[in-house]
């Protein structure tokens, strides 16, 4: 068994993805059954599901709740990935500049 290390950003993205998938399934169920009782049951289920995800996020110190709803506070890119992206961009710029020199 390997040892995986998860960052807060990874956990946050997993929680938000789980919430999005559940919301999509809930919308499909809502469209399939318009009865008042079904709507109430679905609403109660979604409230409990979101509360569970917020509890997990809180356990990891990840602020996701905004007015009792999950929110995505924007795209979070870890600094280590930014530095890789910056280096890749610089390498691409050097390659393109070299290509221009070769073709002229």
Greatest Cα pair distance, the chain, in angstroms, is: 73
Percent of the chain with pLDDT over 70: 70
CB atoms within 10 A of CB 15: 20
Tell me the angle at which helices 8-32 and 36-59 cross, rounded to the nearest 10 degrees: 180
For 46-89, the pLDDT digits (tens) are: 888 888 888 888 888 887 666 656 666 555 555 555 555 667 77
* Mean local confidence (pLDDT), 27-35: 75
Strand partners, 69: 66
Residue 15 is predicted with a pLDDT of 86
Residue 16 is predicted with a pLDDT of 83
* Mean local confidence (pLDDT), 35-39: 80
* pTM flag (> 0.95): no
CB atoms within 10 A of CB 60: 13
Residue 93 is predicted with a pLDDT of 79
* Mean local confidence (pLDDT), 24-51: 80
């Amino acid at each position: 068994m390997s040892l995986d290390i998860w960052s807060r950003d990874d956990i946050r993205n997993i929680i938000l993805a789980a919430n999005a998938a559940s919301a999509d399934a809930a919308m499909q169920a809502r469209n399939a059954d318009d009865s008042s009782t079904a709507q109430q049951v679905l609403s109660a289920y979604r409230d409990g599901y979101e509360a569970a995800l917020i509890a997990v996020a809180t356990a990891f110190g990840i602020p996701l709740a905004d007015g009792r709803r999950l929110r995505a506070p924007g795209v979070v890119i870890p600094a280590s990935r930014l530095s890789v992206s910056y280096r890749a961009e610089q390498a691409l710029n050097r390659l393109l500049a070299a290509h221009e020199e070769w073709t002229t």
